[in-house]
Each structure stands twice: as C-alpha cells, then as structure tokens.
Structure 1
Amino acid sequence: MSEKVVVAGVGMIQFKKPGASASYVEMGSQAARAALADAGISYDLVQQAYVGYVYGDSCCGQAALYPLGLSQIPVLNVTNNCATGSSALFMARQAVESGAVECAIALGFEQMKPGALGGIWHDRPSPLGASSVLAEELNPDAVEAKVPGALMMFGGAGKEHMQKYGTKMETFAKIRAKASRHAANNPLAMFRKVVSAEDVMADPVVWPGVMTRLMACPPTCGAAAAIICSEAFAKKHNIRADVQILAQSMTTDSPVTFEKRSAIELVGFSMAREAARQVYEKAGVSPSDIKVCELHDCFAHNELITYESLGFCPEGGAEKFVNDGDNTYGGKVVTNPSGGLLSKGHPLGATGLAQCYELTNQLRGTADARQVDGAKLALQHNLGLGGACVVTLYGRA
C-alpha cells in the first residue's frame, strides 16, 4: 500500500537579480532551514535529500546542505532544465509514498548570470539540438532577427497560436500585466511593480509582431524547499498534515513533439496535457475542480498555451479565457497568484519548489493578500525543455 504524502513544511527566500544574491550555498541552506522550521522538525529527522539546480558543479547539493549538519544521509543531485525543482519534489514524494523513507527534503536553488539562457558546454552535442534545429526551421524570421533560442521556441509557439486561432499579441500583454498585479502582493517576488498591458506592449520589441521584453521571464537567483513526509511520521512528530500531494505525474517527449512540426508541440503541449490527464485520473477530479494553479509562465505565450493543455479551456479558447478574466481573482482559475515566473522570477532549480511553497500556503489559508478564497485543490505545472513536465495536485485534508 502506498503512503499518504504530506507537505510538512515549505521555505523560500526572496528572489533577486543576478549579482544581488548570496551564493547558492547560503541561499540553499537558508531555504532548507526555513522549510524545517515551518515543519517544526530538526534536520536529523530527514532521511533523504533531493537537491535540484541547473547551473552548478557536481555535489552542489551537499555543499548547500552541509551547513545544516553532516548527517550522512543520501543526497541526490537533480537536473531537468526548468523542471528541476519539481523533479526533486517528484523524487522525494516517490520515496515517501513507496515507504522507502518517512521523511525527505526537496531543495532547489539557482545562482544565475544576467542575460538569455544558454548552454555551458560547447564541445559536445546539446540536449536541445533537435529542438533548436526544428525551431529555426519553423521560424526563419526569428533566425534572421537573431532571436535567442528559448525565446524562439516559446515565442514561436505563441506565433503559431496567433496564426492558427487569431490570438492577438495584446493578449500576451494582458497575461504579463496580470502577473504584475499578483506579484505586487508577494513580498518574495523579484518584480513587484504593477504594469499595464499598454506598458508591456510599449516595452522594447525582441521579436517583431510576437514578443516584447516584458513578456519574457528574467534570469533570477533564489532558493526554495519542501519537507515531505508520511502521514504516520507527521502524526508521530506532531506535524500539521493538512496539505497533501494527491497525485503527481512526470512525462517526457513523445514522437509528436518532433513529427507534427508544430512550435506548440515543441514546447511541451502534449507532455503537459498527458501529465495533467494522469493526475486528474488518479485523483478523480476534473479541470473544473481546480480554483488555483501555479503554472510555468517562462513566457506569457507559454502561460496562454498551458491554459489549454491543462484543460482550463478548449484548444483555441485561451484568448477568451484571458479576456473574460478567468485567469485571475473572480474568474475560473486564479493562475500564478505568486506573480509566476514572469514577475516572481525564475531561478531554474528553485522554480518548482517555489510553486509548491505558494500552493501550500494557499491551501493552508496563509497566503495573505494573495489568498484564493475556498481553495481546496491546487494544481502545479513545471516544464523543462529537453524534456520533462511535472504536474502535481495538492489537496487540503
């Protein structure tokens, strides 16, 4: 029998611009200590650690956790591009659910540099090689404009949606403006300034007719963590057990990613749809049951596409979903109440665990001005190209 999985504690530090943060060691240990304090336990009770980061050397996880104690527990370092944090969470949940351990920590951090994302190793094949080639074939105008790779992939997906369904560029601006309004209530967000859709449209253009600079998330430094335990462990140690992981799925690419020659598929539409389907089926819920969601808005374009892959609206219906206000307070699904990657920031290894932090507080009713009334279920979507998609459903006991 599988164990019920409790989110016993969460911790997060304020996200900052590259160059303004402490080192990954300090950020990681600070977030881990905050999660332990939130759970009300000491580090010696943790039996395994899963630590996620993208830009770092081997065993950075040990370096970040050693300040908490040299307990000799297994520390597994995890990397899955932008889905790294939720991949660490996936492994911690799996260990607890299977009964392999009673308590584990999932920690994610990133110490980033300014500028667009790029590879580190240039003397070997890139794991995104096939994706990059297809993105360039689908978007020759972006190649000519020297648009960076990640922007080309996600912007290309938005461009395809515009061409296929008549979606306006202004709709992506509305998504970015919504993110800023939500982040204004989040003291841990990097950008808390409210911007209008008009401000977003007036920002410098990075791909004519497709994207302005504000429609892309910024490089960010930060850390977040979660303590995951069994229900029996929580009871034994007098830990609150009101937030549980009800279902979780990780998917990778299928042939359709490349065979369909679709920019929307290239950025994980079917990965996300299948992961969400598995989660809904396991938990016995439907998209209409979800009232709050943290999803992977690395670009405003991806947020719009993800509304459809998660089933919040039909394919082609995302623009109406935005225009009707169904992605914010008073609508169908309050999306990214934290401000999301666009405003909160995107330290790659920490992002999935920052989403966990936000949704745990939403279900506890401790999200302050960001609180979504009556939230009993919360959905998380974290995407990494290359590829991996993790969808997690949390519930309030």
Structure 2
Amino acid sequence: MSRKVFVVGVGMTNFVKPGAGGDYPEYGKRAVENALADAGIKYDVVQQAVCGYASGDSTSGQRVLYQIGMTGIPIYNVNNNCSTGSTALFIAKQLIEAGIIDVALVLGFEKMAPGALGGGMFKDRESPLANHVRKMSEMAEIVKSPITVQYFGNAGLEHMKKYGTTEVHFAKIAAKNHRHGMRNPRAQSKREYSVEEVLNSRKIYGPLTKLMCCPTSDGAGAAILMSESAVIQFGLQRKAIEIIGMEMATDTADLFTDNSLMKVAGSQMTAIAAKRLYEKTGISPMDVNVVELHDCFATNELITYEGLQLCGVGQAGKFVDAGDNTYGGRVVVNPSGGLIAKGHPLGATGLAQCAELVWQLRGEAGTRQVKNAKIALQHNLGLGGAVVVTLYKKGFTDRSKL
C-alpha cells in the first residue's frame, strides 16, 4: 500500500502590513511554535524541515529554526515565487510518501517591502519572467503600472472579451472576500466593502481597482506532516487531516506559441494540475466543500474557478452571480478572506491556506466554519511559473486494523 500523509499540526501569525513591526525570525518562530503546540509534539521529533520564502537571504530557514532547536536535521530553503509555501508542502509530502522520513516540518514566511510587488529583486540580470513579459507585450501594451497587476488585469480583460464577464463580477468576488475576512482574526483587512465601494476604489489597471488587489504583507505559517504510522505512534488520529492528493504543474510550451493573456497569468498550469489531481484521486470537483485559492487579484479568482472545474469554461460569471462561491452556495471559496483580505506574504501564503483548510475540516474555524466540510481544495499559484493544487480529507482510518 502507498504511504499516506497527514497534516497533524498547523500554525500561523497574523498577517500585517510590511513594516508594521517584527522581523521574519520572530514571525517564523511563532508559527512553528503554534504548529508544534497544535500537534502536541516537541521539535526534536521533526526529522526534516522545508522552509519557503520568496525574498530573503540564503539559509533564512535555518535562522528561524535554530531558535526552536539545533538538532542537525536537513533544512531545505525553497523559492518558487507566490507558490513557494505549497511547493515546500509538496516536497515534504513526497519525503514522507517515499518512506524517507515520518515527520516533517513545513514553514513559510516573508518580510516584504511596502508598496506594490516589484518585478524582481536584482537589477543587474534578466528577470525570470522576462519571456512572460515579452509574450504579454505581443498582445497588450506594457505601461507604467506594476507588472504583476498587468499580468492579471490583462487576463481579466481577455476573459471579459471572450465570455462577457464584467467588472461587476470581479467586484462581487472582492466584496465577498472582504466580507469573509471580517470573520478572520488573523486577516490583514477586516473591513467589509460593498460591490459599489470596490468598483469605486482607485483604478489600478484594466478592470482592477485597489480593493480587488491583495496587499503585500509580513507573516508566517507552518504545518507538521506525518506518515500514517507516526500519527498512530503519537496518538494524533483525531487531529490528522489526510492529504489525499497533490499535483504541481509548470508552464507548457504553448504559453509562448498561443496568444492567450490568461495562459501568461498561469491559467493553463492550474487546469493541468487540477485535471491530474481529480483523475488520480477519483475525487470530483463536485465533491469539494471548501476551497482556498490564489486570489492575488479578483480576476484570477474568477479565472481559477474554471481551471479548477468548479464551473464550466466561460461560466464563472454565472457562478458568481448565483452566489455559488460563498456560504449558502455550492462551495465556499476563500472563507479566510483569501489573499485579498487575509494578505499575501508570499512564502507564507500556501501554509496559511493549508492551516485554514485543516481548521475547516476539523470543525475549528469558528464563525468562518463551513457546515459539514469533508473535502477541501487548495490552489497556490506562482508566475514564472508553478502551481500546486491539493486535496484534503477529513477523518483518519487506521489501515493496520482493517
């Protein structure tokens, strides 16, 4: 039988504006301590650790974890743009799945610069996204707006042109996420906005206004992963949430041969990973109760509904209008408030998504709780590119007793 992998402990800090106080070692230490406490284990149980951050010096993971303990374990440092946190999870899952270890710690953290996300850390070399920018420039004029908002603003414009989506659909998504974020004590933004207020906020690029865009953030998240035997050994059956499937995809060659602004913004990666995941697990998108997806911009949340097969291609506008993306609808998307309300410290985002879904499946999400949540889906996207899509399931079955 293949080795199952479970999340048995999660933790995260509040997400805050850059410069609000604190540094990455402090954020990371707090998230790890929370995750260890949630699992009820000591750090010396951890056999390997995978740390993710998108901006920072080499071995920053060691700088954080040495505060917890110096046990000589392997510590990996991962950078995969905005999908960094889930990439770290993906690596740790494979280490356990392959039988290399039984207990892994996954940590994501970020201390970001204030203001809009820039195009790269280094000015003396070509950006990893240079080819993506060149491809986008073949289809749209490159302007002075932040390049990241141009990727997702242009993707939204393409969806509008192809399927009749409107700015109101994007505003409804942003208003929904701000409304959800009000229930999340760890969210950076806890204010509700009407659709009209979202539409009337400062225009950033294309259909995107300020309230449709996620803020830059500081913060950290962490998770403890275990094999089935380790869960039993430590008596964590009631805490354990199974990772029933996880797929990572990167860009395919037709990103540069086709003329699609949505592909430049990662839509095809999402569709590929989701298709593989459903096929391998036998889970249907109709089985999913709760979703945390990468709403860096409201346009991306709408486009991602289709890539994850939560609705048909071209049907995302109707999905939004029907309220099928929130409480009382078909599936609750971003109960945490998503990146738009919760915040987006790049390396921590994938771990924060994981934590929210674990809390939801355990029934520990408080006023955000999705009723009868049994299957959860996570989507974490990084341009350049990589996407990780994950399915979680409530309940632990001891197969040794079957």
- State the TM bucket, normalised to the shorter chain: over 0.9
Q: Per-residue displacement from partner, 1:136-182 (whole Å, max 9, x unpaired)?
A: 23221xx34x2211100011000000111111111101100000110
Pairwise CA distance, 1:239: 1.6
Matches within 5 A, 1:121-132: 121-132=122-133
Pairwise CA distance, 1:116: 1.4
Q: Which residue of 1 aligns with 2:220?
A: 223
**Amino acid in the other structure paired with 2:363:** G
Give the Cα separation in 2 of the matches to 1:194 and 1:134.
Answer: 37
**Amino acid in the other structure paired with 2:128:** P
| Structure 1 runs of 4+ with >3 Å offset | none
Q: Does 1:95 align with 2:95?
A: yes
Q: Which residue of 2 aligns with 1:322?
A: 320
**Amino acid in the other structure paired with 1:268:** G
Q: Per-residue displacement from partner, 1:240-292 (whole Å, max 9, x unpaired)?
A: 35411000010100012221120111111111111111111121111111110
Matches within 5 A, 1:205-244: 205-207=203-205, 209-240=206-237, 241-244=239-242
Pairwise CA distance, 1:210: 1.5
Give the Cα separation in 2 of the matches to 1:261 and 1:123.
Answer: 30
Q: Per-residue displacement from partner, 1:367-389 (whole Å, max 9, x unpaired)?
A: 01111111110000000000000
Q: Per-residue displacement from partner, 1:175-234 (whole Å, max 9, x unpaired)?
A: 000001101100000001000110011101112x52111111000001000000011101
Alignment partner for residue 245 of structure 2, among 244, 247, 250?
Answer: 247
Give the Cα separation in 2 of the matches to 1:149 and 1:176.
Answer: 20
**Amino acid in the other structure paired with 1:102:** D
* Preserved contact between residue 231 and residue 240 of structure 2 (Cα < 8 Å): no
Alignment partner for residue 184 of structure 1, among 160, 174, 182?
Answer: 182
Give the Cα separation in 2 of the matches to 1:35 and 1:132.
Answer: 39
* Preserved contact between residue 32 and residue 107 of structure 1 (Cα < 8 Å): yes
Q: Does 1:378 align with 2:376?
A: yes
* Preserved contact between residue 55 and residue 111 of structure 1 (Cα < 8 Å): yes
Alignment partner for residue 351 of structure 1, among 349, 352, 355?
Answer: 349
Give the Cα separation in 2 of the matches to 1:243 and 1:351.
Answer: 19
Q: Which residue of 2 aligns with 1:29?
A: 29
Alignment partner for residue 194 of structure 2, among 176, 193, 196?
Answer: 196
Q: Per-residue displacement from partner, 1:108-147 (whole Å, max 9, x unpaired)?
A: 000001111121111112110011112223221xx34x22
Q: Which runs of 5+ in 1 are unaligned?
A: none
Pairwise CA distance, 1:335: 0.2
Q: Does 1:366 align with 2:364?
A: yes
TM-score by length of structure 1 reads 0.98
Instruction: State the SS of the aligned residue for 2:170.
Output: helix
**Amino acid in the other structure paired with 1:34:** N
Alignment identity in percent?
Answer: 54
Instruction: State the SS of the aligned residue for 2:11.
Output: strand
* Preserved contact between residue 21 and residue 221 of structure 1 (Cα < 8 Å): no
Q: Which residue of 1 aligns with 2:157?
A: 159
Q: Which residue of 2 aligns with 1:85?
A: 85
Pairwise CA distance, 1:2: 2.6
Give the Cα separation in 2 of the matches to 1:359 and 1:251.
Answer: 21
**Amino acid in the other structure paired with 2:305:** Y
Q: Per-residue displacement from partner, 1:338-382 (whole Å, max 9, x unpaired)?
A: 000000000000000000000000000000111111111000000
Instruction: State the SS of the aligned residue for 1:108.
Output: strand
Pairwise CA distance, 1:64: 0.6
Give the Cα separation in 1 of the matches to 2:270 and 2:92.
Answer: 21
Q: Per-residue displacement from partner, 1:84-119 (whole Å, max 9, x unpaired)?
A: 000000011111111100000010000001111121
The number of equivalent residue pairs is: 393
Q: Which residue of 1 aligns with 2:58?
A: 58
Give the Cα separation in 2 of the matches to 1:6 and 1:211.
Answer: 38
* Preserved contact between residue 85 and residue 107 of structure 2 (Cα < 8 Å): yes
Give the Cα separation in 2 of the matches to 1:347 and 1:249.
Answer: 22
Q: Which residue of 2 aligns with 1:337?
A: 335
Instruction: State the SS of the aligned residue for 2:127.
Output: coil
* Preserved contact between residue 21 and residue 222 of structure 1 (Cα < 8 Å): no
* Preserved contact between residue 139 and residue 152 of structure 1 (Cα < 8 Å): no
Q: Which residue of 1 aligns with 2:400?
A: none
Instruction: State the SS of the aligned residue for 2:67.
Output: helix
Give the Cα separation in 1 of the matches to 2:168 and 2:147.
Answer: 23
Give the Cα separation in 1 of the matches to 2:177 and 2:254.
Answer: 31
Give the Cα separation in 2 of the matches to 1:136 and 1:338.
Answer: 35
Q: Which residue of 1 aligns with 2:398?
A: none
Q: Which runs of 5+ in 2 are unaligned?
A: 396-402
Cα RMSD over matched residues? 0.9
Give the Cα separation in 2 of the matches to 1:39 and 1:198.
Answer: 43
